[in-house]
Amino acid sequence: MTATPPEPVGDSASRPAVAPETATVLAGRERNGAALAPTIVTSSTFVTPSVAEGRRLATSTTSDSFYGRYGNPTVNDFADAIAVLEGAEAARAFSSGMGAITAVVLGLCSSGDHIVTQRQLYGGTQLLFQGACPRLGIDVTFVDGTDPDEWAAAVRPGKTMLLFAETPANPRLDLVDLEALGAIAGPMKVVDSTFATPLGQRPLDFGIDLSLHSATKGIGGHNDVSLGVVAGSRELLDWIWGFAVLQGANASPYDAAGGLRGLRTLGVRLRHQSASASQLAAALEADPRVAEVRYPGLASHPQHDLARRQMRLSGGQLTFDLVGGVGAGERFVESTRICRLAPSLGGPETLVTHPASSTHVGLLPDELAAAGIGPGTIRMSVGLEDPDDVLADVRAALDAIDADGSSRADAHG
C-alpha cells in the first residue's frame, strides 16, 4: 500500500509514492504556510472579495474561506490528509464520528430507500438504523456482517441504496470481508473503519465507495478531540456536502488541529498498540479465568486469515469474556488500576469498557445476544503503557474477583 503526499511537498510529477506512515507526517499542510505544526484558523466567517466570488464560494463544495459551516482552512487540511491516507479523491471532516455517519446515511438516503447493515455495530450507529431511519421511512435490514452471502442476499435491486459495514466491529472485533462487500453491484458501499484507522486498512482499495472514521479515537489519538471524517470520490463527497452544510455537524478547527497533531504520530502509536495488544491477547487466552479472547491478530480469531488479507496491523482493540459472568464483568472494570473505565478507544491510556452497561446499553437483551455481548464481555483499548504493567493490572483485577467470590456466585446464579 502506498500513498502520494499532498502539495506542496515538491512537484507532483516527480513526487515519489511514499509509505503510509510517511504520508501521515507529510499530508494536510496545503493551507498551513511555513508553519510545521497545524495553524488553528479560528474565524467562523471570512471576508468575501466580491459578489461574484461570494456566489462561487457559497456553492463550492471545496470552499475553505467563506463561512465556517461550509469549510475552514484547518478543518479542510485535516480532511485532505485523511483523503491522502485513504487513497481517496476527497474527504470531509465532522464534529464527531456520529456526525459523519448521519451525514452519509441521511445525505444519501431518502424515504422509501433500503439499507443493509450488520448486527455487529457500534451501539450509536445501531440505534440510528433502528430508530431514526425507520421513523424517516428508510427501511433497514440487519445481517450477520461476517457472512458475505447474507450481505448479497439482502440487496433489493433498485431499492437498496447503501450497504453499511463496520470492520473490525465494535465490540467483538468481527470482520467484514471488504473484497466480497466491494464486489456487490448496485448499492453504495460504506465502511466504518474506526477500529483499524487509515493505517490499519484502506477500504477503498477493495471497491468500497466511502470509508469513514470516528477520528475521536485512534486518529486524534489523545482523548482530547471530538471528530469524524468521511473519504471517497469527489462526486459522493459533493452530495454529502450538500446535506452536511445544513446538518451543521462541521468539525471545529481546534479539534481538526488536534486531529492533524494525532495523525503525525499515528504510525508509532498504532505499531506499539498492536504489539502490546497481541501480547496481552495471547496472555489472556492462556488464562483459565478468561473464556474467550477476540483479537484479529490471534490465530484463534475465526477470521484470522481475512485479517491477514485486508489489514496491515491488527490494532490496539481486543475483547474478552470472563468465565464469571454477570458480576465478574462489572467487578473487573472497577478493579483495574492502570486500565481506566472509560468509553473510548485509541488513546495513550489503556481503557476498559463493559459494553453491556455502556456503549451498547440501549440494546434489548436479544439484540445484545445477537451482537455477542454478554455480561462478562470486556472491551479493552490498549494504550501506550508497558504491556507488562497492563497485564499485571489485569491479573490483579482477576485475582480480586476470585478473592471476593463474585465469579463463583455468578457461576451458580
Ligand X SMILES: Cc1ncc(COP(=O)(O)O)c(C=O)c1O
Listed residue (315, 274, 313, 318) closest to 300, CA to CA: 318
Phi, psi of 327 (to 5 degrees): -65, -30
Q: How far is the CB of 226 from ligand X (least distance, A)?
A: 6
Phi, psi of 138 (to 5 degrees): -100, 120
Q: How far is the CB of 322 from ligand X (least distance, A)?
A: 21
Task: Tell the residue number behind the cell numbers 510517511, with chain if given.
Answer: 22
Q: What is the Cα–Cα distance from 137 to 113, expressed in whole angstroms?
A: 8
Amino acid (one-letter) located at 364: L
Is 69 among the catalytic positions? yes
214 forms part of the interface with ligand X (CB under 6 A):
yes
Is 269 among the catalytic positions? no
Cβ neighbours of 221 (radius 10 Å)? 26
Helix (H) / strand (E) element for 367: namely helix 365-370
The residue number whose beta carbon is nearest to ligand X equals 97
Nearer residue to ligand X within complex by CB, 214 or 407: 214
Q: How far is the CB of 241 from ligand X (least distance, A)?
A: 19
Stretch that binds ligand X, among 2-10, 119-127, 130-138, 199-207 (CB under 6 A): 119-127
Nearer residue to ligand X within complex by CB, 97 or 375: 97
255 forms part of the interface with ligand X (CB under 6 A):
no
CB of 176 within 8 A of CB of 169?
yes
Q: How far is the CB of 412 from ligand X (least distance, A)?
A: 34
Stretch that binds ligand X, among 43-51, 52-60, 94-102, 231-239 (CB under 6 A): 94-102
Q: What is the Cα–Cα distance from 368 to 356, expressed in whole angstroms?
A: 7
Q: What is the Cα–Cα distance from 320 to 307, expressed in whole angstroms?
A: 18
Q: What is the Cα–Cα distance from 371 to 120, expressed in whole angstroms?
A: 5
Out of 217, 264, 294, 331, pick the active-site residue. 217
Rg (CA), the chain: 22
Stretch that binds ligand X, among 36-44, 93-101, 173-181, 324-332 (CB under 6 A): 93-101
Task: Tell the residue number behind the cell numbers 502490546, with chain if given.
Answer: 276
Out of 67, 70, 122, 295, pick the active-site residue. 122
Residues shown for the chain: 413
Is 295 among the catalytic positions? no
Listed residue (346, 348, 320) closest to 333, CA to CA: 320
Site string for ligand X, 163-192 (x = CB under 6 A): ---x---x---------------------x
Dihedral over alpha carbons 148, 149, 154, 157 (to 10 degrees): 100
Task: Tell the residue number behind the cell numbers 462541521, with chain if given.
Answer: 250
For the chain, first and last CA: distance in Å?
Answer: 51
Count the residues of the shown chain that bind ligand X, applying the rule CB under 6 A: 15
129 forms part of the interface with ligand X (CB under 6 A):
no
122 forms part of the interface with ligand X (CB under 6 A):
yes
Angle between helices 326-335 and 387-404 (to 10 degrees): 130
Nearer residue to ligand X within complex by CB, 65 or 125: 125
Who's near 12: CB < 8 A, 6+ residues apart? Answer: none
Q: How far is the CB of 229 from ligand X (least distance, A)?
A: 10
124 forms part of the interface with ligand X (CB under 6 A):
yes
201 forms part of the interface with ligand X (CB under 6 A):
no
Stretch that binds ligand X, among 60-68, 96-104, 144-152, 372-380 (CB under 6 A): 96-104
Cβ neighbours of 311 (radius 10 Å)? 22
Q: How far is the CB of 171 from ligand X (least distance, A)?
A: 8
Out of 15, 31, 69, 340, pick the active-site residue. 69
Nearer residue to ligand X within complex by CB, 342 or 391: 342
Listed residue (189, 197, 170, 148) closest to 306, CA to CA: 148
Binders in 222-251 for ligand X, by CB under 6 A: 226, 228
Residue 131 DSSP code = I
Is 217 among the catalytic positions? yes
Position among 5, 6, 87, 97 found at the interface with ligand X (CB under 6 A): 97
Position among 216, 303, 319, 335 found at the interface with ligand X (CB under 6 A): 216
Nearer residue to ligand X within complex by CB, 83 or 173: 173
194 forms part of the interface with ligand X (CB under 6 A):
yes
Residues classed as catalytic:
69, 122, 192, 217
Which residues of this chain interact with ligand X, rule CB under 6 A?
A: 96-98, 122, 124-125, 166, 170, 192, 194-195, 214, 216, 226, 228
